[in-house]
Chains A and B, each alone.
Chain A
């Protein structure tokens, strides 16, 4: 990719370009959270003196605390920065694991067909019939709320979609002549799957992985919001929003700011995804 194509892309899809910049900056924030944070996200300071007057936390946004503080006087900007790190980590790891399981089962069911296909597809039906957030809540209770249980919950909720998507892709590839040709040449099944089918699914797998990350981040935030996710004092975007709920009346920034940070990330990835999908769909040009 040279400079010219980049400039062309920016001119044609300015919104997608902005979205791309935003997503990149989230990744940078997550990677360099300790450098970007202005305060220690865990340091408590319940009262401070302003102009000789003693005021109590939560403090409103000011020069010292860009996004204000929470009820314990912990700097919200720094907590949100670390929250982005935790949320992105959970989102990427959980989505990655969902993909592993989903791709594995999708390849098997799509390629083998028959009874195995039928059984696994009925299992996906079962998993998809329970509302995801409810299923995720039940899973977190099994392992008691923590980072690991949140990741597990998102995987349990996320794999069926992936398995179905990959399966349908495998089904359409399987009937191609070149697959029949290598089969006729006597190639082993595992080799056909790994060498011929999987590479042809890679495009859809990558798109599904990246488009699934905001969903995973949302589930993490949702679980943390309902107290079933990442436990205090470690900050996550959902738990900060949840903690701020009780202070909505006189400290609205407390819940609103982390929510905007979360929504902006999800929105940007969605816009990018739409652009990618439009790009590959000829009827939208």
Chain B
């Protein structure tokens, strides 16, 4: 068990190195003279050259990569070209906002998706099952950027209930619309996963035993089924984390929610490379680490899952 965990953690090293290499190469390939961008369009060639020298942009690539890696590992992320501020000071602020949005979305999706999935599975083939599955597949099929626009149009332009976009610290009205947009596909996905998990569990012998003991349907569901169905729900959250982050990025851009997603997009458009590479590295590393933890907790929830395989 301990060996397994250690092995999994050691595996993180090549993956993170690979990740940094990928991001470094991809960002290097984006055309654009960084020194010229910093100096401004009217700067003379001498100024641009001196900036190039100062930043070490004319050094060989492996050297630049190695510097990027060591700087990243020591937490020296550099300064944003756009704001001029230290990236290490900016990231926690934007990260907190993304976390706030993501956690609320996850909690609500878990509750709605879970309940929908259980109803669907228990009354399988009923009209409710079909209705719920139709709703969840529709939720999955909506293009996020489009449903965001429609929700903005409905709730803030037509009804005038909520602000269309923006952010205010704390739990303000601003969080409602982005949350609603993200809950639609997420709860749909969770409903489907829960449904098939519950169906699998219900086919097990111990459920039949519990039922024949005279346990009422309600107790069978809450005591046995929900607990066992939780594993696939949590797994799905882990394996879909990357995809979910993609959704969060789009929603943050459209609702001008100033979190990690908006930060990384602004950096991308402005070719603010230090900010872009740091944010991308952090988002991807987070996905990798959380996936690892989901994998490991797996065995804690369900002792049947063997580590040796």
What is A's interface to B at a CB cutoff of 8 Å? 15, 122-123, 125-134, 137-139, 141-142, 144, 214, 218, 221-222, 225-226, 238, 241-242, 245, 248-249, 252, 255-256, 259, 262-263, 266-267, 270-271, 274, 283-284
A129 and B26 within 8 A (CB): no
Among A242, A262, A263, max chain B CB count under 10 A is at: A263
Taking a contact as CB atoms closer than 8 A, the residue among B23, B141, B145 that contacts A241 in the complex is B145
Chosen A-B contacts, 24 in total, with CB atoms closer than 8 Å, are A122-B15, A126-B15, A126-B22, A127-B22, A129-B19, A129-B242, A129-B287, A130-B280, A131-B242, A131-B284, A132-B246, A134-B280, A134-B283, A138-B268, A141-B271, A142-B26, A221-B143, A222-B145, A252-B153, A262-B143, A263-B143, A266-B141, A266-B143, A267-B138
Interface secondary structure of A, over-half rule: helix
Q: Contact: A248 with B146, CB < 8 Å? A: no
Interfacial residues of chain B within 157-188, with CB under 8 A of chain A in the complex: 157
Q: Is the CB of B253 within 8 A of A226?
A: yes
A263-B134 Cα distance, complex, nearest whole Å: 14
Check A130–B141 contact: CB distance below 8 A: no
Binding site for A on B (CB under 8 A): 11, 14-15, 18-19, 22-23, 26-27, 29-31, 133-134, 137-138, 140-147, 149-150, 152-153, 157, 199-200, 203, 242-243, 245-246, 249-250, 253, 264-265, 268, 271, 280, 283-285, 287-288, 291
Contact of A133 among B26, B134, B250 (CB under 8 A): B250
Residues of chain B contacted by A225 (CB below 8 angstroms): 145
Chain A: which residue is nearest B21 at the CB level? A126
CA distance A125 to B11 in the complex (A): 11
What residues on A are CB-neighbors of B264 within 8 Å?
A: 134
Chain A residues whose CB sits within 8 angstroms of the CB of B19 once the complex forms: 126, 129-130
CB within 8 Å for A132 and B242 given contacts A241-B146, A248-B153: yes
**Interchain CB contact (< 8 A) of B157 among A132, A249, A271:** A249
Main SS at interface, chain B: helix
Q: Return the 3 tightest CB-CB contacts between A and B, nearest first.
A: A259-B146, A131-B246, A267-B141
Q: Which of B30, B146, B253, B287 contacts A263 (CB 8 A)?
A: B146
**Residues A133 and B242 in contact in the complex (CB < 8 Å), given A270-B137, A274-B137:** no
With A132-B243, A241-B146 already in contact, the answer to whether A139 and B249 are too (CB < 8 A) is no
Distance from A120 Cβ to chain B, minimum over Cβ atoms (Å): 11
- State the Cβ distance, B201 to closest chain A Cβ, in Å: 12
Of B11, B242, B250, the contact of A130 (CB 8 Å cutoff): B242
Closest-CB distance, A249 to chain B (whole angstroms): 6
Chain A nearest CB: distance from B24 CB in Å? 12
Given A132-B242, A256-B150: A142 and B143 interface contact (C-beta under 8 Å): no
Using Cβ atoms and an 8 Å threshold, which residues of chain A touch B22?
Answer: 126-127, 130
Closest to B164 in A: A248
A128 to B242, CA, bound (A): 7
B249:A130 contact, CB within 8 angstroms: no
Instruction: List residues of chain B with CB within 8 A of the CB of A242.
Output: 145
Contacts of A218 in B (CB 8 A): 143
A263 near B141 with CB under 8 A, answer yes
Q: Please, how many angstroms separate the alpha-carbon atoms of A141 and B18 in the complex?
A: 21
Chain A residues, Cβ within 8 Å of B245: 131, 134
B23–chain A nearest beta-carbon distance, Å? 8
Q: Is A134 a contact of B246 with CB atoms below 8 Å?
A: yes
